Amino acid sequence: MKLSPATMFCLLLIAIGVAFDKGIWQVPREWNPLAPLAVDDPVTPMTSLKLKRLQGDRDECLAALDTAPEVSYTPLDDYTPAAGCPLENVVRLSRTSVTFNASFVATCPMALAWTMFERHELQPLAERTFGQRVTSVQHYGSFACRNIYHRKNARRSEHASASALDVAAFRLANGERISLLEDWNGDDDASRFLQEAQTGACHYFGTVLGPDYNAAHANHFHLGMRGMSFCR
β-pair partners for 231: 208
Q: Which range scores top for mean pLDDT: 10-19, 24-33, 143-152, 196-205?
A: 196-205
Quickly state the pLDDT bin for 17 (edges 50, 70, 90).
very low
pLDDT at 11: 46
Mean pLDDT of 181-210: 96
Task: Answer for the pair 66, 76: CB distance below 8 angstroms, yes or no.
Answer: no
Q: What percent of the chain has pLDDT over 70?
A: 89
CA distance 28 to 17: 16
In three-state secondary structure terms, 56 is: helix
Instruction: Give 64-77 pLDDT, tens digit per residue.
Output: 999 999 999 999 99
pLDDT at 155: 84
CA distance 113 to 228: 13
CA distance 141 to 174: 25
CA distance 62 to 71: 11
pLDDT at 5: 56
The Cβ of residue 1 has, within 10 Å, a number of other Cβ atoms equal to 2
Task: Answer for the pair 87, 162: CB distance below 8 angstroms, yes or no.
Answer: yes
Q: Reply yes or no on whether the pLDDT at 221 is more than 80.
A: yes
Q: Which range scores top for mean pLDDT: 7-11, 31-35, 227-231?
A: 31-35
pLDDT at 48: 84
As to burial, measured by CB atoms within 10 angstroms (0-12 exposed, 13-18 middle, 19+ buried), residue 192 is: middle
Residue 111 Cα to chain centre, angstroms:
7
| Angle between helices 108-117 and 58-65 in degrees, nearest 10 | 30
Q: Nearest CA to 106 among 163, 176, 155, 54?
A: 163
